[in-house]
Amino acid sequence: MFLIFGIRGKDKIVGSRLGRCEVCGATAAQTLVRRTTKFSLFFVPLFPVRAARHFVICTNCGRSRAAAREELVAA
Ligand SMILES: [Zn+2]
């Protein structure tokens, strides 16, 4: 008998708004992404192994940064 298990991250787009990117300086759509990491057994995600994290991704340059708390409320 053998077990197939692992840890898998999944991204979900929470929202998007127009804003100025801190990396490239352009005004473009900033996408808010929620990333959850779950333990999976036989490719079935079972339970989260860490708290969900939020990122803001710039649609102009594609760089991501951690989202500030006030950005989560606004989304
Ligand atoms: Zn950018």
Residue 73 has pLDDT above 80, yes or no: no
Task: Kindly report, residue by residue over 7-64, the tens digit of the pLDDT.
Answer: 999 999 999 999 999 889 999 999 999 999 999 999 999 999 999 999 999 999 999 9
Count structural domains, the chain. 1
Domain-located, residue 2: no
Domain-located, residue 1: no
Domain-located, residue 35: yes
Domain-located, residue 5: no
Cα–Cα separations (whole angstroms), residue 65 to 1, 5, 22, 35, 53: 43, 29, 9, 12, 11
Domain-located, residue 61: yes
Torsion angles phi and psi, residue 3, rounded to 5: -115, 140
d(CA 13, CA 16): 8
Model-level pTM?
Answer: 0.76
Tell how far the Cα of 36 is from the centroid of ligand 1, in angstroms: 23
Tell how far the Cα of 13 is from the centroid of ligand 1, in angstroms: 17
Domain containing residue 58: 14-74
